[in-house]
Amino acid sequence: MIEKRGKNVKTVAGTKYVPCEQCGENVLVSDTATRALCDLCIVKRNLNNYGWPQGTQLQTPEEVVPKPRGWHLMSVFVDDLGNVYHKGVIQPELEGTLPSTPFENKPKEKVKRQFRQSKKDKEREMLDKIWKEKTEMKKMDNARTVSVKQKRVKRKGG
């Protein structure tokens, strides 16, 4: 049950929520609180005001070296940086001793989608065929019953 109490203050099952002043995310607060900042916005504000703490080492995202599908299953694979892998395990003593393995990453998603589409089309065709046969059978049945009725009527009349 959500009760609305005051402006933008919600109480859900006895706990009080107030929207964050910066981003609007609901923040769980005590009963007496009227305004709130969420944890993320507090961190952002502190970083803006005081910067990173001394001695912080920022992580730089690792560069992704392109590798072919199933590279970790190949007995020997050498990436563009010269790292040598034996069945996915890096061999540091062989680094730079072998030429990089040529490979081509083909987009597989499209092929899959086409296959699925063709499968769907086939299914639809089958259903259409069955539907047509059924309707034709019904028509024939109707025609037969009509003709039988007509015959009966003829017999009665005659």
Asked if residue 84 binds Zn ion (CB under 5 A), the reply is no
Asked if residue 98 binds Zn ion (CB under 5 A), the reply is no
Contacting range for Zn ion; rule: CB under 5 A; set: 16-24, 56-64, 80-88, 91-99: 16-24
Give DSSP secondary structure letters for 27-96: EEE-TT------HHHHHHHHHHHH-SPTT--PPPPPPPPP--TTGGGSSSEE-TT--EEETTEE-GGGTT
Contacting range for Zn ion; rule: CB under 5 A; set: 9-17, 19-27, 58-66, 148-156: 19-27
Tally of CA atoms within 13 A in the half-sphere of 109 that contains its CB:
0
Per-residue contact flags (x/-) with Zn ion for residues 41 to 80, judged by CB under 5 A: x---------------------------------------
Which of 96, 65, 101 shows the shortest CA–CA distance to 82? 96
Give DSSP secondary structure letters for 124-149: HHHHHHHHHHHHHHHHHHHHHHHHHH
Asked if residue 29 binds Zn ion (CB under 5 A), the reply is no
Asked if residue 26 binds Zn ion (CB under 5 A), the reply is no
* Nearest to Zn ion of 47, 65 (CB atom): 47
* Nearest to Zn ion of 36, 78 (CB atom): 36
Return residues touching Zn ion (CB under 5 A): 20, 22-23, 25, 38, 41
